Chains A and B, each alone.
Chain A
Amino acid sequence: MKGNGNTVISVRDLVVGFGETLVLDHLSLDVRAGEIMGVVGGSGAGKSVLLRTIIGLLPKRHGTIEVLGVDLDEADDAKRRALERRWGVLFQQGALFSSLTVLQNVQFPMRENLKLSQRLMDEMALAKLEMVGLTAADAEKFPAELSGGMTKRAALARALALDPEIVFLDEPTSGLDPISAGDFDALIKTLQRTLGLTVFMVTHDLESLYTVCDRVAALADGRIVAVGPMSTMLECTHPWVQTYFQGKRGGMLTKRVSPIETEAP
């Protein structure tokens, strides 16, 4: 389950800023193969900026990013495209194409990247939708007809369309009720186990950090101030991390994590 421990995403000395403000200031982070890495941070701390920089949507000022052993700066177009096929991204609002049905949304990456028969594409898209908990009846709907939870599931199915090795999730449980959020967490865990995915997850949700993440990285002051399993977070002395995990809502976790940690072999 933990994979072979190889580093699949390696961020070194990353600097990203807009105008005068520096959002990420010499940040370094490693993500290992097969793990679920959760990134936390206050609103505006740059979690989404980090994610968007890694997948190449935002320009960086300094530093290197290597994903699956490919340096994004040195890769030519063909290499980049090949790399982009090996990751899937779930955007915060789903970002489903509103003029296509759910089924067509999931088929879109297959249609563009692989030469498959229509039958196989239909079967695969329906299979992916079923894996994320949607039904064949939902497949014919348009994104505007879906609820928030269904949109996230459909977007996850699209992110998984090409069987990526890495999945980037931008606040996957935000806007979901606790039950749906819990289901979604369980779904991510199950998929990670069966498909052997590496998951890079930006989140605010303490519950998902606690239940699904193998390791957590805390982002504050433009850099990673703590990284490790939940127990490391609770021991960390950085003031922001302490407030976050020991605060009113985080405090509930302390009681729950400690006994579990001691039980662990």
Chain B
Amino acid sequence: MASDGSLLTTRFEDGRLELAGSGSWTAAHAAELESLVDRVSPDAKRAKNVSIDMGGVREFDTFGAWLLERLTRQWTALGGKAKIVGLPEHDRHLLEEMSAVNREAAPARPRTGAIISALASVGRGVTGVGRDLLTFANMFGAIGVAAVRVMSRPKDFRFTSAVHQLDRVCWQAVPIILLITFLIGGIIAQQGIFHFRKFGAELYAVDLVGILILREIGVLIVAIMVAGRSGSSYTAELGSMMMREEIDALRTMGFDPVEVLILPRVLVLLIAMPVLTFIGCMAALFGGGLVALLYGGMSPEIFISRLEEAISLTHFKVGMVKAPFMGLVIGVVACAEGLLVKGSAESLGLQTTASVVKSIFLVIVLDGLFAIFFASIGM
């Protein structure tokens, strides 16, 4: 396949330009050939007569044919004429084929300035936020309607599907939730003891652990874990169903995809979140107690009696009340994003990422709103 010598030799005499091609005019030598072809074009302006002898060309494919065509087109554009000789019959067909293509200029891509496009992307971002909120509200409404419809005829509820989801979302999540919250509880206790020790107020580390975990951290950590673990899988599942037109198939058979697929999933999250939050809080308190014993030298009896004084049922209730709402937010966001998946693999990835990011963001916003609410009712 190696080219022997030059692919294109040029001779310029009294306004006559004689070119001779040789070797392989194929894809493998296209780059070299292109530079040779481009180098010839300045001569073309001076030449009156151009002839190209292709007799020496051994291999010829569409790349070679196009470059030859490009060369001759330049002269035709200048009003000159190029004569091609020595091209075998078979290759002549190929050249004719190539002379038909690229006649129309490619549609110019609209170009905008950097400032305009930056402004446009800001605008798109803002409208995107508005559209997201509308999508979520829409999904929330659809789930509400489906829930009411199912309540009127409970037999239609997908019980099997719900149990299956409950197994995946709640039961199978228990080990990882236990581990993470146990570690978080331990870390908070260690930090509390370490810093309160300076004031000799180590005992208050127990207050810190108890209140922080029951009110805020327990439910937040669990919500973030569930959003990352189950929310993403909801989006990916529904998204790939969208890609394979399974959801359209359901709809044409007279089923409401919200009722069949989404309602059981969201309902399961409503149940799973409080359960996991409770388990998580207990594991965190246990972790805190263990660190208090090992690191702070605080006996379990002292830890528990201090905990009894520090926390009340209110703290526990504040944490637990938030859990189902967070589950709802995660479910609505995950399912809404899943239904936005388009045909490509890339869009599935994008929506899954968006689902996790948006649900964690909304969970934290919701937590803030709850904090304001509980503060104003004095809980």
Report whether chain A binds chain B: yes
Proximity string of chain B (339-351) to chain A, C-beta cutoff 8 Å, 1 when within and 0 when not: 0001111110000
Q: How far is the CB of B35 from chain A (nearest CB, A)?
A: 9
Q: How far is the CB of B58 from chain A (nearest CB, A)?
A: 14
Q: How far is the CB of A5 from chain B (nearest CB, A)?
A: 16
Q: How far is the CA of A208 from the CA of B50 in the complex (A)?
A: 45
Q: How far is the CA of A139 from the CA of B105 in the complex (A)?
A: 12
**Inter-subunit contact B34/A116 (CB<8 Å):** yes
Answer yes or no: B153 CB below 8 A from chain A CBs. no
Q: Which residues of A contact B93 (CB under 8 A)?
A: 193-194
Contacting residues of chain B (15-41) with chain A, CB-CB under 8 angstroms: 26-28, 30-31, 34
Binds B, one of A54-62, A127-135, A176-184, A248-256: A127-135
Given A114-B28, A127-B101, A131-B97, decide whether A122 and B344 contact each other with a Cβ distance below 8 A: no
**Inter-subunit contact B98/A127 (CB<8 Å):** yes
Binds A, one of B60-68, B296-304, B327-335: B60-68
Closest to B344 in A: A98
Q: How far is the CA of A114 from the CA of B31 in the complex (A)?
A: 8
**Inter-subunit contact A162/B101 (CB<8 Å):** no
Contacting residues of chain A (141-173) with chain B, CB-CB under 8 angstroms: 142-144, 160, 162-163
Answer yes or no: A99 CB below 8 A from chain B CBs. yes
**Inter-subunit contact A123/B102 (CB<8 Å):** yes
Q: How far is the CA of A45 from the CA of B31 in the complex (A)?
A: 44
Q: How far is the CA of A124 from the CA of B106 in the complex (A)?
A: 12
Q: How far is the CA of A85 from the CA of B59 in the complex (A)?
A: 16
Q: Which residues of B contact A27 (CB under 8 A)?
A: none
Answer yes or no: B294 CB below 8 A from chain A CBs. no
Closest to B26 in A: A163
**Inter-subunit contact A143/B94 (CB<8 Å):** no
Question: Which of A116, A117, A137, A163 is the most central at the interface, judged by chain B CB atoms within 10 Å of its CB?
Answer: A163
Q: How far is the CA of A142 from the CA of B347 in the complex (A)?
A: 12
Q: How far is the CA of A194 from the CA of B101 in the complex (A)?
A: 14
Q: How far is the CB of B213 from chain A (nearest CB, A)?
A: 43
**Inter-subunit contact A143/B343 (CB<8 Å):** yes
Q: How far is the CB of A80 from chain B (nearest CB, A)?
A: 16
Q: How far is the CA of A160 from the CA of B70 in the complex (A)?
A: 20
Q: Which residues of A contact B104 (CB under 8 A)?
A: 135-136
Q: Which residues of A contact B26 (CB under 8 A)?
A: 163
Answer yes or no: A75 CB below 8 A from chain B CBs. no
Q: Which residues of A contact B94 (CB under 8 A)?
A: 194-195
Proximity string of chain B (93-120) to chain A, C-beta cutoff 8 Å, 1 when within and 0 when not: 1100110111011110100000000000
**Inter-subunit contact A117/B31 (CB<8 Å):** yes
**Inter-subunit contact A196/B90 (CB<8 Å):** yes
Q: Which residues of A contact B101 (CB under 8 A)?
A: 126-127, 130-131
Q: How far is the CA of A151 from the CA of B292 in the complex (A)?
A: 65
**Inter-subunit contact B344/A124 (CB<8 Å):** no
Interface residues on A, range: 20 to 34
Q: Which residues of B contact A264 (CB under 8 A)?
A: none
Q: How far is the CA of A140 from the CA of B106 in the complex (A)?
A: 10
Answer yes or no: A78 CB below 8 A from chain B CBs. no
Proximity string of chain A (86-97) to chain B, C-beta cutoff 8 Å, 1 when within and 0 when not: 000000000000
Q: How far is the CB of A227 from chain B (nearest CB, A)?
A: 27
Answer yes or no: A120 CB below 8 A from chain B CBs. yes
A-B contact count (CB 8 A): 76
Given A163-B26, A195-B94, decide whether A144 and B343 contact each other with a Cβ distance below 8 A: yes
Partner of A195 from the list B34, B61, B346 (CB cut-off 8 Å) is: B61
Contacting residues of chain A (172-207) with chain B, CB-CB under 8 angstroms: 193-196
**Inter-subunit contact A163/B342 (CB<8 Å):** no
Q: Which residues of B contact A115 (CB under 8 A)?
A: 31
**Inter-subunit contact B61/A163 (CB<8 Å):** yes
Partner of B27 from the list A117, A122, A163 (CB cut-off 8 Å) is: A163
Q: Which residues of B contact A142 (CB under 8 A)?
A: 344
Q: How far is the CA of A163 from the CA of B26 in the complex (A)?
A: 8
**Inter-subunit contact A163/B31 (CB<8 Å):** no
**Inter-subunit contact A123/B98 (CB<8 Å):** no
Q: How far is the CA of A130 from the CA of B100 in the complex (A)?
A: 9
Closest to A144 in B: B343
Q: Which residues of B contact A98 (CB under 8 A)?
A: 343-346
**Inter-subunit contact A144/B107 (CB<8 Å):** no
Closest to A142 in B: B344
Proximity string of chain B (51-83) to chain A, C-beta cutoff 8 Å, 1 when within and 0 when not: 000000000011100110010000000000000
Q: How far is the CA of A162 from the CA of B345 in the complex (A)?
A: 26
**Inter-subunit contact B106/A120 (CB<8 Å):** no
Q: How far is the CB of B291 from chain A (nearest CB, A)?
A: 47
**Inter-subunit contact B34/A117 (CB<8 Å):** yes
Q: Which residues of B contact A195 (CB under 8 A)?
A: 61-62, 94
**Inter-subunit contact A143/B66 (CB<8 Å):** no
**Inter-subunit contact B106/A162 (CB<8 Å):** no
Partner of A128 from the list B62, B90, B106, B343 (CB cut-off 8 Å) is: B62
Q: Which residues of A contact B343 (CB under 8 A)?
A: 98, 143-144
**Inter-subunit contact B62/A126 (CB<8 Å):** no
Q: How far is the CA of A140 from the CA of B90 in the complex (A)?
A: 32
Q: How far is the CB of B206 from chain A (nearest CB, A)?
A: 53
Given A99-B344, A140-B107, A143-B344, decide whether A123 and B97 contact each other with a Cβ distance below 8 A: no
Q: How far is the CB of B111 from chain A (nearest CB, A)?
A: 14
5 A-B pairs (CB sep. < 8 Å): A99-B344, A117-B34, A123-B70, A124-B62, A163-B26
Binding site for A on B (CB under 8 A): 26-28, 30-31, 34, 61-63, 66-67, 70, 90, 93-94, 97-98, 100-102, 104-107, 109, 342-347
Closest A-B pairs by Cβ, 4 of them: A144-B343, A98-B344, A163-B61, A99-B346
Beyond the given A114-B31, A124-B66, A136-B106, please list 6 additional residue pairs across the A-B interface where CB-CB is below 8 A. Answer: A127-B62, A127-B102, A143-B343, A143-B344, A144-B344, A194-B93
